[in-house]
């Protein structure tokens, strides 16, 4: 039985639920891509599926719209795969377990993938309905947006005729996004040495953090679990000597780390002192993050005596120095738009391997030179400590278009429907509009979407009523483009 049965608009939620039955985490998109191709074949639509699994679906203009400009509708098929600690969910195999509570849809124990499954659902519902009034449509659904906009980067845009793009990858109803930050993934690899040690083992855990999207929620004063762990380990030296054996934190470079763990070796007296200090440290953090991340908890638990490889003292100092000096969080606010973050960094994934400390961060800026300067700063820190640095998935910003024709039309439709003005904004998160804007000269772009909460976390929620309102607004905009 359908969990989303009777929700409106019925076909949008039908396709959203179908999508949640198909594994579609970043890097695992073949099955969902093939599903889109099957949809095209079933409905007699022309399509292109490329080697990266990107899919373009074409639909001719409705009667009376033959001379209207072609419109591209765009979103991505991959989702961020996060699950609660202890969950047995397998994102490569299992369907999501949907639940509806009041006005919100969520998934039990996992991310929902409303980002950006709802765009795919909107697109399919539009394509199957031959009663709707609209120009010729090019529905472009990309892969691996969440790990660096890789699908949009690889996409051949030459078959596309549209000069208007409506991106459906935003999460706040009532906002029309008209520009976004560019970004990249910054990867640091710091070589380390180990030596064996026999002593009491202690597990250090940082948990209870809110996490969130490393772009849209970087300004909410949420803590980074990995960097809190490093700070605790630095301060714990005053309680007693220890050696680090294991250290890891975060799962995605574009998600603020919610948990981090370390395994240290220390004598019983020293370990107990460090464990006692964890309680003091937790209380201090709760005060620091009152109102934004006060669920923080740091614990130290005895694991029994054992022999483990631990970091050589020099390597241990380098690891802690690197983490404590990492330029994380907001680096600069925009000088001409109130409240807009210009440049930021999120150290999202950190792993201590047998050979190196590997850190992967999401670097964002709406100013290209500032993005480069921040990457250079991380590179300098990494290389100063003897490590290697590389950039992956570099993508451009989407600049605000002063002479847009699409944006005023969408503002007018919004005003007519809701009798108020929409908020026209530039967003700090990365959107694929920048890449399409670069590939297609003169492209006119606007991004919108329904209300979602806590995307990229297991608390992700999608508003049912907002999905319906945005659907009605999207149909009205398409009808107006004539």
**113: its two tokens:** 């993938």
8 Å CB contact between 231 and 322: no
- Asked if residue 420 and residue 289 are part of one domain, the reply reads no
Q: Which domain holds residue 470?
A: 10-181+397-480
> How big is the CA angle at 50 (ends 45 and 52), to the nearest 5 degrees?
135
Residues carrying an active site annotation: 78, 145
Same domain, 431 and 390: no
Angle at 227 between CA 225 and CA 230, to 5 degrees: 110
Task: Locate all alpha helices (DSSP H) within 258-312, ordered by sequence.
Answer: 268-288
Task: Give yes or no: residues 214 and 175 share one domain.
Answer: no
For the stretch 373-430, pLDDT in tens is 999 999 999 999 999 999 998 888 888 888 999 999 999 999 999 999 999 988 888 7
147: confidence class by pLDDT, cuts 50, 70, 90: confident
Q: Which pLDDT belongs to residue 350?
A: 98
Closest CA to 117 of 362, 348, 474, 455: 455
Would the CA dihedral through 56, 57, 60, 61 be positive or negative? negative
Residue 287: per-residue pLDDT: 96
- Regarding whether 138 and 30 lie in a shared domain, the answer is yes
* Runs of H (alpha helix) within 4-113: 10-20, 30-42
Residue 337 has pLDDT above 90, yes or no: no
**445 contact partners, CB below 8 Å, separation of at least 6:** 164, 165, 166, 167, 178, 398, 401, 406, 433, 436, 437
Report yes or no on 83 lying in a domain.
yes
CA distance 20 to 40: 19
Helix (H, G, I), strand (E, B) or coil at 188: strand
Alpha-carbon separation of residue 162 from 72, 131, 396, 476 (angstroms): 6, 22, 20, 19
Per DSSP, the three-state class of 413 is helix
Q: Is 309 found in the same domain as 442?
A: no
Mean pLDDT over the full length of the chain: 96
3 in a domain, yes or no? no
Judge whether 337 lies within some domain.
Answer: yes
What is the pLDDT at residue 250? 96
End residue of a domain, out of 395, 429, 449 = 395
* Exposure letters 174-188 (e unless 16+ CB within 10 A, then b): bbbbbbbbbbbbbbb
Write the CATH number for 26.
3.40.630.10
Is 2 within a domain? no
Q: How many domains does the chain have?
A: 2
DSSP state of 45: -
How far out from the chain centre does Cα 223 lie? 16
pLDDT of 176-205, one tens digit each?
A: 999 889 999 999 999 999 999 999 999 999
- The string of pLDDT tens digits covering residues 348-368 is 999 999 999 999 999 999 888
Q: Which long-range contacts (CB under 8 A, 24 or more apart) does 96-101 make?
A: 96/20, 96/21, 98/3, 98/4, 98/17, 98/20, 99/3, 100/3, 100/4, 100/7, 100/464
Q: Tell me, yes or no, whether 372 lies in a domain.
A: yes
Last residue of a domain, one of 330, 361, 395: 395
Same domain for 355 and 476? no
Q: What is the pLDDT of residue 395?
A: 87
Contact 137, 70 (CB under 8 A): yes
**Which residues are within 8 A (CB) of 384 and not within 5 positions of it... i.e. 6 or more apart?**
none
Pairing between β-strand 175-180 and β-strand 182-191 as defined by DSSP bridges? unpaired
Q: Classify residue 263: in a domain, yes or no.
A: yes
- In this predicted structure, the answer to whether residue 252 has a pLDDT above a threshold of 90 is no
Cα dihedral 156→160→163→166 (10° resolution): -80
Q: Does 276 lie in the same domain as 192?
A: yes
- Domain membership flag for residue 4: no
Residue 329 and residue 258 share a domain: yes
- For residue 250, what is the domain's CATH number? 3.30.70.360
Q: pLDDT by residue (tens digit) across 302-327?
A: 999 999 999 999 999 999 999 999 99
Q: In this structure, is residue 354 part of a structural domain? A: yes
β-pairing, 175-180 with 452-453? unpaired
- Residues 385 and 409 both lie in one domain: no
Q: How confident is the model at residue 482 (pLDDT cuts 50, 70, 90)?
A: confident
**Residue 427: per-residue pLDDT:** 86
Same domain, yes or no: 324 and 415: no
pLDDT in tens, 454-471: 998 899 999 999 999 999
289 and 167 co-located in one domain:
no
Residues 81 and 140 in one domain: yes
The CA distance from 211 to 228, in Å, is: 13
Q: What is the pTM of this model?
A: 0.76
The answer to whether residue 453 scores a pLDDT higher than 90 is: yes
Sign of the CA dihedral 366, 372, 375, 376?
Answer: negative
pLDDT tens across 14-73, in order?
999 999 999 999 999 999 999 999 999 999 999 999 999 999 999 999 999 999 999 999
Among the candidates 364, 395, 426, a domain finishes at: 395
Instruction: State the pLDDT at residue 212.
Output: 87
């Amino acid at each position: 039985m359908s969990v989303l049965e009777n929700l409106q608009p019925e076909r949008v939620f039908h396709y959203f639920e179908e999508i949640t039955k198909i594994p579609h985490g970043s890097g695992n998109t073949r099955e969902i891509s093939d599903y889109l191709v099957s949809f095209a074949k079933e409905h007699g639509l022309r399509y292109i599926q490329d080697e990266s699994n990107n899919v373009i679906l074409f639909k001719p203009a409705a009667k009376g719209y033959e001379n209207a400009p072609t419109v591209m509708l765009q979103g991505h098929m991959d989702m961020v795969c996060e699950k609660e600690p202890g969950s047995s969910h397998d994102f490569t195999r299992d369907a999501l377990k949907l639940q509806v509570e009041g006005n919100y849809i969520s998934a039990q124990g996992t991310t929902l993938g409303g980002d950006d499954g709802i765009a795919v659902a909107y697109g399919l519902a539009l394509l199957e309905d031959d009663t709707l009034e609209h120009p010729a449509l090019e529905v472009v659904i990309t892969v691996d947006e969440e790990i660096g906009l890789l699908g949009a980067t690889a996409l051949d845009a030459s078959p596309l005729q549209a000069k208007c793009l409506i991106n459906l990858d935003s999460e706040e109803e009532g906002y029309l996004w008209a520009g976004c930050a560019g970004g990249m993934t910054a990867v640091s690899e710091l070589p380390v040495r180990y030596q064996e040690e026999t002593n009491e083992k202690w597990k250090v855990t940082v948990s209870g953090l809110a996490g969130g999207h490393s772009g849209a929620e970087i300004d909410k004063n949420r803590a980074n679990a990995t960097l809190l762990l490093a700070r605790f380990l630095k301060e714990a030296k005053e309680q007693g000597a220890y050696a680090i054996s294991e250290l890891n934190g975060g799962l995605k470079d574009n998600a603020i780390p919610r948990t981090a763990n370390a395994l240290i070796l220390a004598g019983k007296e020293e370990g107990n002192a460090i464990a006692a200090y964890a309680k003091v440290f937790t209380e201090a953090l709760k005060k620091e993050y009152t109102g934004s991340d006060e669920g923080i908890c740091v614990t130290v638990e005895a694991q029994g005596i054992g022999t483990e490889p631990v970091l050589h003292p020099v390597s241990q100092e380098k690891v802690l120095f690197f983490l404590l000096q990492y330029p994380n969080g907001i680096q600069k606010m925009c000088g001409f738009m109130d409240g807009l973050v210009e440049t930021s960094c999120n150290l999202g994934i950190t792993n201590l391997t047998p050979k190196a400390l590997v850190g992967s961060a999401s670097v964002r800026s709406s100013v290209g030179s500032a993005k480069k300067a921040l990457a250079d700063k991380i590179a300098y820190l990494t290389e100063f400590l003897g490590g290697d640095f590389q950039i992956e998935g570099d993508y451009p910003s989407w600049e605000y278009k002063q002479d847009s024709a699409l944006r005023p039309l969408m503002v007018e439709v919004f005003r007519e429907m809701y009798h108020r003005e929409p908020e026209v904004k530039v967003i700090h998160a990365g959107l694929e509009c920048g890449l399409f804007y670069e590939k297609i000269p003169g492209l006119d772009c606007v991004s919108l979407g329904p209300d979602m909460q806590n995307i990229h976390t297991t608390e992700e929620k999608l508003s049912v009523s907002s999905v319906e309102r945005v659907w009605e607004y999207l149909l009205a905009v398409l009808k107006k483009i004539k």
